[in-house]
């Protein structure tokens, strides 16, 4: 008897959850997993299994790729703020009639003593800063620094994986690093640079959460940029285990 061909799963990755999901599925002979990375990080952490790097050319290009490579299920496990590719994935999956799941880690929740201000955009965060402090720890990624480039009175400590490109704030120091970070290290960073305000996105990652605890202990206000919602109608899983369970149920 001839066994059924393996079902092709495309994971839109670049996150810890995407790598864990690819690892969890790697030993399943009924599945063929491809992970796709955008290619924006110079030296990405590669998942196990087959990997493609680069864009698709919008929703139409992604739909074409899904069709040509006979993808049976699509899992969007990109960063919670990668709303453009999430929108493209929703359109492409609908066009090709491929089931789609969004894998999104839970967002951060404030606790006692936190001084958080939620905002909807980088531009809104920038508008608040002149009233909050002069020394800013900015951990929103290298791609959005243009929103703060007009602030000439504030000094920025910017942490990113790769070096940012202009336009950037004129008074800025850059730290090239990636998580996980420790509470002790984050507390020392805030002290050493005399940080007065933390600006970050609600990525929800455990690896980068210690900065929030350190800010709470130091009494430093946090400007937290809200994440965009998943595209309408797309089911959401919060863990790789939930995503794997959805996948096996969907591909029955």
* 3-state SS record for 49-74: CEEEECCCCHHHHHHHHHHHCCCCEE
| 111, part of any domain | no
Whether the CB-CB separation of 29 and 59 falls below 8 Å is answered with no
State which residues form the domain around 98.
Answer: 7-106+229-250
Residue position matching structure tokens 């969890």: 24
| 2, part of any domain | no
Torsion angle of the four alpha carbons 49, 13, 183, 237, in this order, in degrees rounded to the nearest 10:
-110
Summarised one tens digit per residue, pLDDT across range 182-213 is 999 999 999 999 999 999 999 997 878 999 99
Element (H, E) at 127: helix 122-128
Segment 32-46 shows an average pLDDT of 85
pLDDT of residue 3: 66
**244 and 187 in a common domain:** no
Of the listed ranges 107-111, 128-132, 240-244, the one predicted with least confidence:
107-111
pLDDT of residue 5: 87
**DSSP bridge partners of 225:** 119, 201
DSSP string, 197-241: EEEEE----GGGTHHHHHHHHHT--EEEEPPPPPPTT--EESSHH
**177 and 163 in a common domain:** yes
Q: What is the CATH number of the domain that holds 79?
A: 3.40.50.720
**207 and 126 in a common domain:** yes
**238 and 176 in a common domain:** no
If one counts the domains in the chain, the total is: 2
DSSP string, 184-205: HHHHHHHHHTT--EEEEE----
pLDDT of residue 1: 42
- Record the tokens describing residue 90, joined without a space: 């929703």
pLDDT of residue 44: 80
* Helix, strand, coil in percent for the chain, rounding step 5: 35, 20, 45
Of 46, 42, 40, 44, which is closest to residue 26 (Cα–Cα)? 46
- For residue 40, is pLDDT > 90? no
- Record the tokens describing residue 194, joined without a space: 């005399």
| 140, part of any domain | yes
**148 and 50 in a common domain:** no
**214 and 125 in a common domain:** yes
Summarised one tens digit per residue, pLDDT across range 142-161 is 889 999 999 999 999 999 98
- Whole-prediction pTM: 0.90
| 98, part of any domain | yes
**97 and 140 in a common domain:** no
| 1, part of any domain | no
- Record the tokens describing residue 55, joined without a space: 């864009």
**19 and 102 in a common domain:** yes
- Rounded CA separation 104/108 (Å): 12
Residue position matching structure tokens 């900015």: 138
**245 and 212 in a common domain:** no
């Amino acid at each position: 008897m001839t066994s059924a061909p393996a079902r092709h799963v495309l994971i839109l990755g670049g996150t810890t959850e995407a790598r864990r999901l690819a690892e969890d599925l790697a030993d399943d002979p009924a599945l063929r997993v491809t992970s796709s990375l955008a290619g924006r990080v110079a030296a990405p952490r590669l998942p196990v299994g087959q990997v493609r790097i680069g864009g698709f050319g919008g929703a139409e290009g992604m739909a074409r790729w899904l069709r040509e490579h006979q993808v049976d299920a699509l899992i969007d496990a990109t960063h919670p703020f990668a709303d453009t590719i999430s929108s493209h994935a929703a359109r492409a999956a609908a066009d090709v009639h491929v089931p789609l799941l969004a894998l999104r880690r839970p967002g951060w929740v404030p606790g006692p003593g936190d001084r958080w201000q939620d905002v909807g955009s980088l531009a809104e965060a920038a508008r608040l800063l002149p009233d909050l402090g002069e020394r800013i720890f900015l951990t929103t990624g290298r791609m959005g620094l243009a929103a703060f480039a007009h602030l000439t009175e504030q000094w920025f400590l910017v942490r990113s994986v790769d070096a940012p490109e202009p336009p950037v704030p004129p008074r800025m120091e850059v730290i090239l690093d990636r998580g996980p970070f420790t509470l002790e290290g984050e507390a020392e960073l805030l002290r050493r640079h005399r940080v007065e305000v933390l600006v970050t996105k609600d990525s929800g990652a455990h690896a980068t959460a210690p900065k929030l605890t350190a800010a709470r202990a130091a009494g430093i206000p946090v400007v937290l940029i809200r994440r965009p919602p998943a595209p309408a109608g797309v089911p959401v899983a919060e863990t790789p285990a939930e995503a794997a369970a959805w996948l096996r149920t969907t591909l029955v």
